[in-house]
Structure 1
Amino acid sequence: MQYIKLGSTSLYVSKICFGTLTIGPLQKKLSVEDGARLLAYAYQKGINFVDTAELYETYEYIRKSIQISGIRPVISTKSYAYDKKSAEFSLYKALKELDVDYIDLFMLHEQEGEHTFKGHYEAVEYFLKAKEKGYIKHFGISTHYVKAVKDAIKYPEIEVIHPIFNYKGIGIVDGTVDEMAEAIKQAYIHGKGIFAMKIFGGGNLLSNFRQALEFIFDFPYLHSVAIGMQSIFEVDYNIRCFEEKKVYLNKELLENVKTKKLHVESWCEGCGECALHCHQNALSVKDGKVVVDYSRCLCCGYCSSYCKLFALKVI
């Protein structure tokens, strides 16, 4: 496994970051034991970088994986904190549930640009003070916006950017894949740590996984890539591809590759709460039921956390 310094930070990370969204309650719903063992296996195979978020509810998986493996990975998490109170809650929740003394990388979740960054600056100030005290090593943002990547260059306190990036530009809210690529390039040149998310478009590009991977391999301005994995096969396969920068086709792979989609159960009452929180505008209510625009849906499963009836799930 190749390791690289994450921009100007002190962190050395594997080219693959294990994205834990897919193993947790919002997607695969693996048991904590099974999810932790999968993470521990990935650490033992050389992946030393893990991405999570307060929303994902996977802190327990990571804590257990450290206990099983005896390996403490580089941990990146994020929250929607907007003021001192919510930032303090998010940080101490992460420290307690992960059972660690510090967070390697703490990010503001789904930033849109300079205006949202300034709007959350009370939380930013809290995180920067926590960084001075050693509770956070580095600070950053995650985003689906080209503008946010560009604006982040202006702020030295934003050390790492976690942007959406795939060959079709699925999920980029305010621009094209070429515009995102140029913004990432400039941020990389300016010393920002860059690790991409949703290179398979939230599962929508799995049928074209060769093109999706080759696009990433050919783009030189990424330090790492977050990939959601749900099995030992996926861990082994992705490691092999990244180590050799080559996409392998075989029967086992084809049997394991399944395109994901968001499913709405029949008992949905159409309250619309999920649609209000879908930043991709992929959900709407029609005739008393939630309707999914699959051309916009990223299969992230975030919407399911707002459904009191548990009527939404990624399958």
Structure 2
Amino acid sequence: MKPPHTITRREFLTRAAALAGVVVATPALRAAPAPRKTATDQVPLGQTGLKICRLGMGTGSNGGEVQRRLGREGFDRLIRYAYDRGVTYIDTAEAYGTHEYIRSAIRGLPRERLFILTKMPGVPEKPLEVLDRYRKELGVDYLDCVLTHCATNARWDDERRRVLDALEEAKQKGIIRAKGVSCHGLPALRRATEVEWVDVHLVRLNPQGRHIDGPSDRWNEGGNETTLPEVVREIRSMRAKGRGIIGMKIIGNGEFRSPEDREKSIRYAMQSGLVDAVTIGFASTDELDEALERMNRALAEV
């Protein structure tokens, strides 16, 4: 049997040099560029395990009057146009009177592609029966998210315990996929951060401070630029707990008439890192197109 070959120093150096040449000659692998962010991306909603379109179609401008004034056909066209542009999140509430409008507008669309969020006001006697009514009005088997609507004080979770318990039960049964709260006022907002029951927060946010949360528990007392830092502080605490955050009042309750104000607010919402998604109420396809354009431009810089 031949003895094993012992490599010489010259052979070792020759082979090492050849290997180095191969390594040098191989082009370095380049990391693929990150996909460009857009307004219609499906993004994680906090740590809920759900995904939501970054831009939502709001149906509650002036309590839903703006959208209802479009009529059924006009509303259908707007929802379908939004869907065709990639907007699959629809935001509604019992108080807006748009549930049945939405049922007509989404008929025939794939349910699994839609994210439907609605809101329950007050403390109804039988919240689970109310949820059944919502599903019939909307023409769906389940709701992606249901919020207890317009909490105003620091005792809202105790006062609405029947609703919170019912929404928890509904989530366990698969009737809803997530639950949460919308607040009007800093006392309620602060308490919402503390309540572990909350999956999703609908927060009022714009850098101008228009119609954001004010210092009292009066639902219609808006804040301003002086209350904005406290609102932001609460949102950051919510995010730290893994909550889903959706921004509203991005167009200042429809009062941002100047393009500069709309640009400033949308840019802030997209670049601040405070929200997962936003809901904006539209009255026309032109308004929707403008929001998409402004959001995409702001996201391109992130």
Range of TM-score over shorter length: 0.7 to 0.9
Partner of 1:77: 118
Is 1:14 the counterpart of 2:37? The answer is no
Say if 1:194 and 1:126 are closer, same or farther in 2 by CA, change over 3 A: same
Question: Alignment partner of 2:249: what SS?
Answer: coil
User: Which amino acid in the other structure matches residue 140 of structure 1?
Assistant: G
Q: 1:84 to 1:137 in 2, by over 3 A?
A: farther
Over residues 106-133 of structure 1, what are the superposed CA-to-partner deviations in whole Å (9 max), with x where a residue is unaligned? 0011112440121011111111111111
- SS of 1:158 mapped into structure 2: coil
Shift of 1:220: 0.7
User: Hey, what does 1:217 align to over in structure 2?
Assistant: 270
Taking a change above 3 Å as real, the CA distance of residues 157 and 64 of structure 1, as seen in their structure-2 partners, is same
Q: Verify the 8 A CA contact 1:33 1:64 in the aligned structure 2.
A: no
The offset of 1:164, in angstroms, is 1.0
Matched, 1:157 2:207: no
Hey, what's the Cα distance between the residues in 2 that align with 1:83 and 1:117?
14
For the pair 1:47 / 2:87, whether they are aligned, the reply is yes
Aligned residues: 246
Residue range with higher mean Cα deviation, 65-74 or 183-192: 65-74
For 1:237, the equivalent position in structure 2 comes to 290
| 1:147-185: CA deviation from partner (whole Å, max 9, x where unpaired) | 333322322221000011111222222160111011111
TM-score, normalised relative to structure 2 = 0.76
Contact 1:83 1:121 in 2 (8 A): no
CA contact (8 A) 1:15 1:242 kept: no
* Structure 2: distance between partners of 1:23 and 1:113: 22
Q: By how many angstroms is 1:79 displaced? A: 1.5
Residues 1:117 and 2:157 are matched in the alignment: yes
- Given the superposition, is the C-alpha separation of residues 33 and 24 from structure 1 closer, same or farther in structure 2, using an over 3 Å criterion? farther
Question: Any idea what SS the aligned residue of 2:134 has?
Answer: helix
**How far did residue 64 of structure 1 move?**
1.6
Q: Is 2:263 the counterpart of 1:177?
A: no
Q: Is contact 1:40-1:69 (8 Å) kept?
A: no
Q: 2:134 aligns with which of 94, 98, 102?
A: 94
1:195 to 222, 229, 246: 246
Separation of aligned partners in 2, 1:14 and 1:123: 27
Q: Which residue of 1 aligns with 2:182?
A: 142
Answer with 142-151 or 118-127: which moved more: 142-151
**Do the aligned partners of residues 32 and 68 (structure 1) sit closer, same or farther apart at CA in structure 2, a change above 3 Å counting?**
farther
| Matches for 1:220-299 after TM superposition, within 5 Å | 220-245=273-298
1:246 is displaced (CA, Å) by 7.0
- Indicate if the aligned counterparts of 2:271 and 2:299 stay in contact, CA closer than 8 A: no
Q: Structure 1 residues 192 and 113 mapped into 2: Cα distance closer, same or farther (>3 Å)? A: farther
| Aligned equivalents of 1:4, 1:25: Cα separation in 2 | 26
Aligned counterparts of 2:143 and 2:154: Cα–Cα separation in 1: 24
3-state SS, counterpart of residue 110 of structure 1: strand
Task: Kindly provide the CA deviation profile for residues 257-305 of structure 1, in whole angstroms up to 9, marking residues without a partner as x.
Answer: xxxxxxxxxxxxxxxxxxxxxxxxxxxxxxxxxxxxxxxxxxxxxxxxx
Alpha-carbon distance in structure 2 between the residues aligned to 1:45 and 1:18: 11
Deviation at 1:34, TM superposition (A): 1.4
Query: Is the CA contact 2:207–2:265 (under 8 Å) kept in the aligned structure 1?
Result: yes
- Among 60, 65, 76, the alignment partner of 2:105 is 65
Quick check: 2:66–2:283 contact (8 Å CA) kept in 1?
no
Separation in 2 of the partners of 1:129 and 1:54?
Answer: 20
Q: Does 1:4 align with 2:57?
A: no
Identity across matched positions, percent: 29
Contact 1:2/1:243 (8 A) holds in 2: no
TM-score, with length taken from structure 1: 0.73
> Unpaired segments of 5 or more residues in structure 2?
1-39, 216-222
Q: Give me the whole-angstrom Cα distance separating, in 2, the residues matched to 1:137 and 1:240.
A: 30
Q: Distance in 2 between matches of 1:168 and 1:218?
A: 15
Between 1:103-112 and 1:66-75, the stretch displaced more is 66-75
Contact 1:194 1:223 in 2 (8 A): yes
Q: Distance in 2 between matches of 1:83 and 1:229?
A: 30
CA apart distance, 1:205: 2.2
Report the counterpart of residue 264 of structure 1 in structure 2.
Answer: none
Amino acid at match of 1:209: R
Bigger Rg over Cα: 2
Q: Give unmatched runs, 5+ long, in structure 1.
A: 248-315
Query: In structure 2, do the counterparts of structure 1 residues 114 and 77 end up closer, same or farther at CA, with 3 Å as the change threshold?
Result: same
Counterpart residue number, 1:26? 65
